[in-house]
Chains A and B, each alone.
Chain A
Amino acid sequence: MGGGVIHLTVNGSEHALEMPASTTLLDLLRDRLHLTGSKECCEVGECGACTVLVDDRSVNSCLMLAVEADGNAVTTIEGLAKHGHLNRLQDAFLATGAVQCGFCIPGQVMAAQYLLQRNPHPTLLEIKEALSGNLCRCGGYEQICDAVLSASLTDG
């Protein structure tokens, strides 16, 4: 009963943690593990700023209790670049000018990462559909979608 100790892997590192059951996965990542790349905005699963991968599936981490992630492997935006080298999505986002204020970007990149894992050669329409759960108020959708398209055409 109660929270108990949970074991999860975050960006390849294993953790054993205890927390109140009411802690969300987002809270755990940001406040306990200091991985502040995933953002808190709407807290109701509408904006996608908190998007992470849990066992390779994109989810809104604000809607998961941390205790549910026991035994899961979580990937956040901080886990994408390897030794400082941006992955092809991150690079494409910079190249197409998709990054304005940047607040929605970690969520957009994680949602796009999930898309390309399942569908390596999406159409623009499929990209728009796949990112429809990620709000951008700077309005940079065209350039964000171009970045995903461009990344899908790059090897690696």
Chain B
Amino acid sequence: MIDRVGVSSRRLGGYERVTGQQQYVGDIRLEDMLHVKLVHLDCGRARIRSIDTAAAAAVYGVRCILTSADLPQPVPRFGPVYEDRPILAVGETKYHGQPVAAVAAESKEAAEAAIELVHVDFEELPGVYTVAAALDPASPLVQEPELRPHDPLNRTNVLRERHYGWGKVDAARADLIVENVYSFPMVTHFAIEPHGFIAAPEEDGIAVWSATQNPFQMQRIIASVLKLPISRVRVIAPDPGGAFGGKQHPKYEPLVAVLALRTGRPVRLVLTLEETFQEVRRTSCEMRVRTGFNRDGTIAFQDIESNFLMGAYADIAERVIAKSNYLACGPYRVPNARITVRALLSHTAPSTAFRGFGTPQVAWAHESQMDDAARRLGIDRVEIRLRNLARKGEAFVPDDTPADGDWPESVRKAAAAIGWGTPLAPGHGRGLAVAIKASATIGASYAIVRLHWDGSATVLTGTSDMGQGARTVLAQIAANELGILVESVRVVMGDTAAVPFDLQTSASRSTVFMGQAVLRACQDIRSQLGASETSLDDLLQSRFGMVRGEVIGVGSMRREYLPEHPLGETASFYEFSCTASEVAVDQETGEILLVRHVTVADVGKAINPQHVEGQDEGAAVMGLGHTLMEHLILDERGRIRNLGALDYRIPTSKDLPLEMSSLLVENADGPGPYGAKGAGEGGLMPTAPAIASAVTEATGVVIRELPLTPERVWQEIQRHKNGNPSEDAER
């Protein structure tokens, strides 16, 4: 029996991608399709006084123009948790780029001409764009209080305040207290595929095409907005051209659905790259962290105040903030902890899920603290982590899922790979950091596997393959369980009319949740066929004979909601990762040269090792982005100044470290098939603190803001030279 897992099978869908045949949502052409363009204002927050669409409507080819006045009143609002986002801006734009009108026309050119002719009379208003402004009681409110009438915080810009903790922080003794403030900038996903949305009336309902990671959630929300039963809403989800969390939740699907029903025609809206930047970003933050350490470097307490800045609508950001800050102490033994977390609204692009889900931000803080303490106590930075890391089986958060991996093993592996402790060339430095993320808590994934009479199989699954290779991995699992070739398996995804329910593709959950569902579906098939020494062909032949048929197996994995748990359920598993970095810094210019970069992922079992390596390296490169070069720059009027690819820089092939390696730890200790855990976010999460720590060793300066642009590094070096002891690392 040849193993189909643990091998690097060729990517399903790869052939279509290298030949240009793969159909992304922007490639789909429907007959009689109208083209949609959006009208938005060149300012942050503004009161809309009036919108004159007469001149635009007169453009040849324009079929429909919608403003919020043309929608059902009150204007329907939607969102994955908070239903706060209107289909179009109502009375006020709340972020730079929020559309006030939409035009549908026979051609792209007509739509583009028409949007230029929509006259909006507006008055710019002062807005909230920073953490300080969001906390200031004198600031304007981002959200109307009527939207959360029973919330005592409804006259503030705090959407939610949470408290986590255990032990007694104020009574805890410590030999050293390290207190710092860390900030994490606004960055955007910049998937190479801009967002696109299509809708078409279908029989007595609607069909929506969207490269969404969560087709079933989309189906539910559209049904709710349009007041249709779920069965009359079909969501077709083509494989995204990169998503990274930015394509999880609804944005303009409700708008195009309304346009399709109004016009009776298929409609398509494809955002420009600039519009895409205005729509999705990572939640930014300021974290004040006060950590008490014992002389031996072990943690005595953690006292954390997190202020996370969401956008104008909550999207899934409050969940991001809650989940990541729940583990703000990191993967360590912490006897006393107090974590106060605020989810703040602002007049900026709605922050949403983004690879890491808040963990890069908290890891930036807790890892920088560890390095600070190590320097002050004279303890090696790897050693201090080994002294604090929770060991396998230990409940590092009381009453919650214990540590489920040999975390010190990952750290030792990374340290060895980077050459920790070996002599460094002058001007070089090394750093190492870890991160911990709770994967999916609640969840529901269903899979159907159809074993055809010739021994080939079709897997029906609601998972989204956005590049992480879910299609291939699920095919490998099915092939392995059924004892057939991977090439004989077809995986059907992305159509709510064809595949069974999946909660979402996120949180590195699919190998575990959907993988188990597929595995169980195959086990169901095997038990229907009966355990036997007979070959599969013979079994099918004897079962079906001349009449033929197929064996249908169903499998699922669910984790239910626990109201008493702060996150609604314990973590199904943890994604633990370690990054080690070696850099050289040009102290005269502040430029950082990445000499070596190592990532270690604790994956349980790599079902497709090549895919995991691609994900880890890719995640590391994405992490280099926010570490070295990415940040959305807002002006004082809340407008993003660096929209588009010319001034928002992401890593290119020339920005890679000179040497990169992605290593795996496989101890088969995960809840997924063959002991697998999830992967794909780990390579990103500890990137910033690892590199910053290396920069500190190379230069003596400590930097607590990102990105580490040449100019920022240079500024800190100048400050260090001019004598500013509170910012310096003790050598």
Contact = CB atoms under 8 A, between A and B. Distances in A.
Interface of A: 20, 22, 30-31, 34-44, 46-47, 49, 76-78, 80-81, 86, 90, 93-106, 109, 127-129, 131-145
Given A43-B272, A94-B14, A132 B653 contact: yes
Nearest to A40: B26
Nearest to A38: B20
A42 B274 CA distance: 8
A93 B402 CA distance: 41
Given A137-B190, A137-B242, A94 B11 contact: yes
Majority SS at the chain A contact face: loop
Interface string B369-394: 00000000000000000000000000
**Most chain A C-beta atoms within 10 Å of own C-beta, residue among B611, B617, B660:** B617
A104 B108 CA distance: 23
B240 A101 contact: yes
Majority SS at the chain B contact face: loop
7 contacts: A30-B27, A31-B108, A46-B645, A47-B192, A49-B192, A102-B16, A102-B17
B645 A39 contact: no
B19 A80 contact: yes
**Most chain A C-beta atoms within 10 Å of own C-beta, residue among B14, B190, B240, B651:** B14
B239 to A, nearest CB: 7
Nearest to B112: A22
B388 to A, nearest CB: 30
Contacts of A143: 613-614, 617
B138 interface: no
Given A90-B18, A101-B242, A46 B618 contact: no
Interface residues of B, number: 60
A43 B646 CA distance: 10
Given A46-B645, A78-B20, A99 B650 contact: no
B621 A141 contact: yes
B228 interface: no
B269 to A, nearest CB: 14
Nearest to B27: A36
Contact of A99 (B17, B193, B652, B660): B17
Given A101-B467, A102-B241, A140 B617 contact: yes
B653 A134 contact: yes
B306 interface: no
Interface string B505-545: 00000000000000000000000000000000000000000
Contact of B192 (A20, A43, A90, A137): A137
Contacts of A99: 11, 14, 17-18
Nearest to A109: B18
Contacts of A98: 614
Nearest to A100: B467
